[in-house]
Amino acid sequence: MTREKEIAQKIYAIVGPKDNIETVTHCMTRLRLHLVKDADLDELKAIPGVLGVNQNGDELQIVLGPGKVIRVADAFAALLDGNEAPTPNDSKEMPAFLASKGRWGTAKPSMKPFGKKTPRRQKPFCAKWRPSSCPLFRALWAAVF
């Protein structure tokens, strides 16, 4: 059993049966649940792998972190459907960028490595504070002369 599947099972055990869960979505870092009845936030925070829990109106947000939330959301959706949660070795169920040989894939050939930036030419001080460029200095200039 993978760690993400264990996290999904523990979350499912706390938030209740399938009837208590209205919708399940995720963003880049959070699993977002709309529940009929509220869940115990302290129990959710105690799950290893859960970075935080937020209650935003009627939406429960479980902070898992980037990358991990996709696998936990897939395992959670599989639990709701009554199916076995996908494993990381199952390339048919996993997104292509996660199932590839390298974790983050290979770099694009068009990407350039970081190099030296060309230095910007500094403007002289008098060019920045020229009286004709600032209304306050124009007023002071007119008062002097």
Residues with catalytic function: 27
Pairwise CA distance, residues 5 & 71, whole Å: 8
The side-by-side arrangement of strands in the sheet containing 52-56 is 21-26, 30-35, 59-63, 52-56
Helix axes 68-81 and 3-15, enclosed angle (nearest 10): 60
DSSP letter at 19 equals G
Q: Which residue has the tokens 């494993």?
A: 87
Copy the structure tokens of residue 12: 């499912």
Report the amino acid identity of residue 94. Answer: M
**What is the sign of the dihedral through the CA atoms of 50, 51, 55 and 56?**
negative
